[in-house]
């Protein structure tokens, strides 16, 4: 048994590699056992094909419903496209070699401003979290060397708080997110205000995905801020409570304990860090006898499958930290 598996009370590998959901099982066999799997097999799974059938000709997915006072239908569609791109890339291994990803990428790039950020989800306001979240997925899909991605990173570095982390700029000016569709002027951040760990954790996922940025001074400095924030309250009201560290989504959306460990392990932080040991011990303590976890899930219908994906994410982090 590999060293990383020795740290668990119960072996999680068998319940993941033999899971009834094929996308979970195949991904676990690839990531935990090093087996080669066919991407084409993942792409042809019925759940993936169901998502593809709903894609529009312009590359977008249409958001069902929405409230005009919050954002336009077009910008709701930007959110929905980001969401579905996450499913295709994170759960089914889609890359830019598939035309659906090419079309979705160009649709999302159409929202990129001359400054480099993706705008619209917060109306005319800056959104480093969604900008980085979209960039993360595009990098994983094969757009790492695209000049437009480099422009995203240049913008992210330019919009940091003075402490080296990130926050939602309108929050640093004490504005509510309710103003996003009503305020026509883009509000500049007060960079003297503290970082938000929720936003910093999301932004760092993009740095962690981009090999050339992973060890950058900006990523290392912000990574230390994220590390120091584990299990603490945020400085801002959005998902501020300590309990949000233990409320999870997959694919990752906000910053939680699993997404933070995934990011810090990719950035190369050591398992010897006290804060990381605390987090890893929590996963060990919470593991069930079947080898998996029963976690608080915020989004998703098939919670049994989401639990498995979260379990796989936990194992990936342990594998990185201990190997």
Q: What pLDDT is stored for residue 1 in this prediction?
A: 47
**227-237 pLDDT, tens per residue?**
999 999 999 99
User: Does residue 135 lie in a domain region?
Assistant: no
**1-24 pLDDT, tens per residue?**
468 999 999 999 999 999 999 999
User: Does residue 11 lie in a domain region?
Assistant: yes
**116-136 pLDDT, tens per residue?**
999 999 989 999 999 999 999
Q: What pLDDT is stored for residue 68 in this prediction?
A: 66
Query: By C-alpha distance, which of 274, 157, 177, 174 is closest to 219?
Result: 157
User: Does residue 254 lie in a domain region?
Assistant: yes
User: Does residue 222 lie in a domain region?
Assistant: no
- Report the percent of the chain where pLDDT is more than 70: 97
User: Does residue 60 lie in a domain region?
Assistant: no
User: Does residue 301 lie in a domain region?
Assistant: yes
pLDDT band at 183; cut points 50, 70, 90: confident
| Structural domain boundaries enclosing 298 | 1-37+241-323
**60-100 pLDDT, tens per residue?**
999 887 666 667 888 889 999 999 999 999 999 999 999 99
User: Does residue 106 lie in a domain region?
Assistant: no
User: Does residue 251 lie in a domain region?
Assistant: yes
Residues in the chain: 323
In total, how many domains does the chain have? 1
* Residue 108 confidence (pLDDT) above 80: yes
């Amino acid at each position: 048994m590999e060293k990383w598996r020795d740290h668990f009370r119960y072996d999680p590998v068998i319940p993941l590699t033999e899971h009834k959901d094929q996308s979970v099982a195949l991904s676990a066999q690839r990531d935990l056992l090093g087996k080669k799997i066919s991407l084409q097999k993942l792409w042809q799974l019925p759940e993936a094909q169901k998502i593809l059938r709903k894609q529009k000709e312009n590359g977008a997915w249409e958001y069902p419903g929405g409230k005009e006072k919050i954002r336009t239908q077009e910008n709701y569609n930007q959110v929905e496209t980001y969401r579905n791109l996450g499913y295709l890339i994170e759960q089914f291994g889609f890359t830019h070699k598939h035309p659906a990803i090419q079309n979705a990428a160009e649709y999302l790039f159409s929202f990129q401003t001359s400054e480099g950020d993706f705008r619209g989800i917060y109306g005319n306001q800056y959104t480093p979290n969604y900008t980085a979240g979209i960039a993360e997925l595009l990098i994983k899909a094969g757009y790492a060397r695209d000049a437009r991605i480099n422009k995203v990173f240049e913008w992210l570095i330019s919009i940091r708080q003075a402490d080296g982390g990130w926050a939602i700029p309108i929050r640093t000016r004490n504005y509510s997110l309710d103003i996003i569709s009503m305020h026509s002027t883009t509000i500049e951040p007060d960079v003297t205000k503290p970082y938000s760990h929720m936003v910093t954790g999301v932004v760092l996922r993009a740095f962690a995905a981009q090999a050339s940025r992973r060890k950058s001074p900006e990523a290392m400095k912000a990574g230390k801020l994220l590390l120091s924030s584990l299990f603490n309250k945020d400085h801002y009201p959005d998902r501020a409570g300590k309990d949000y560290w233990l409320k999870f989504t997959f694919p990752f959306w906000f910053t939680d304990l699993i997404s933070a460990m995934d990011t810090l392990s990719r950035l190369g932080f050591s398992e010897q860090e006290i804060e990381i040991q605390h987090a890893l011990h929590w996963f060990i303590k919470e593991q069930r006898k079947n080898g998996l976890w029963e976690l608080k899930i915020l989004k998703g219908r098939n919670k049994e499958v989401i639990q498995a994906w979260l379990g796989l994410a936990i194992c990936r982090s342990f594998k990185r930290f201990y190997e």
